[in-house]
Chain A
Amino acid sequence: GENVEQHPSTLSVQEGDSAVIKCTYSDSASNYFPWYKQELGKRPQLIIDIRSNVGEKKDQRIAVTLNKTAKHFSLHITETQPEDSAVYFCAVEMWQGAQKLVFGQGTRLTINP
Chain B
Amino acid sequence: SAVISQKPSRDICQRGTSLTIQCQVDSQVTMMFWYRQQPGQSLTLIATANQGSEATYESGFVIDKFPISRPNLTFSTLTVSNMSPEDSSIYLCSVAAGDTQYFGPGTRLTVL
A residues lining the B interface (CB < 8 Å): 1, 32, 34, 36, 42-46, 49, 51, 89, 93, 99-106
Quote the shortest CB–CB distance from B68 to chain A (angstroms).
15
Convert B22-45 into 0s and 1s, putting 1 for each residue whose CB lies closer than 8 angstroms to a CB of A.
000000000101000000011111
- Most chain A beta carbons < 10 A, residue from B33, B42, B48, B59: B42
Please tell me the size bucket of the interface on B: 10 to 19
Evaluate whether A99 and B42 lie within 8 angstroms (CB atoms) in the complex, with A1-B59, A43-B92, A43-B106 already known: no
Convert B70-112 into 0s and 1s, putting 1 for each residue whose CB lies closer than 8 angstroms to a CB of A.
0000000000000000000000100010011111111000000
Interface contact A44-B105, CB-CB below 8 Å: no
- Distance in angstroms between the alpha carbons of A73 and B44 in the assembled complex: 20
Evaluate whether A89 and B99 lie within 8 angstroms (CB atoms) in the complex, with A43-B92, A100-B33 already known: no
* Chain A residue with Cβ nearest B56: A100
Residues of A within 8 A of B44 (CB): 103
Interface contact A99-B102, CB-CB below 8 Å: no
Additional 11 contacts, C-beta under 8 A, given A49-B99, A100-B33: A34-B99, A43-B105, A44-B103, A46-B101, A51-B99, A93-B99, A99-B99, A100-B48, A101-B43, A103-B42, A105-B42
Q: Which of A46, A49, A89 contacts B43 (CB 8 A)?
A: A89
* Chain A residue with Cβ nearest B6: A43
- Distance in angstroms between the alpha carbons of A25 and B96 in the assembled complex: 21
Residues of B within 8 A of A101 (CB): 43, 45, 101
26 sampled A-B residue pairs with Cβ under 8 A: A1-B59, A34-B101, A36-B103, A42-B105, A43-B103, A43-B104, A43-B105, A44-B103, A45-B103, A46-B100, A46-B101, A46-B102, A49-B99, A51-B99, A99-B31, A99-B96, A99-B99, A99-B101, A100-B33, A100-B45, A101-B43, A101-B45, A102-B45, A103-B42, A104-B42, A105-B41
* Chain B residue with Cβ nearest A1: B59
- Distance in angstroms between the alpha carbons of A43 and B4 in the assembled complex: 11
Interface contact A49-B100, CB-CB below 8 Å: yes
Quote the shortest CB–CB distance from A81 to chain B (angstroms).
23
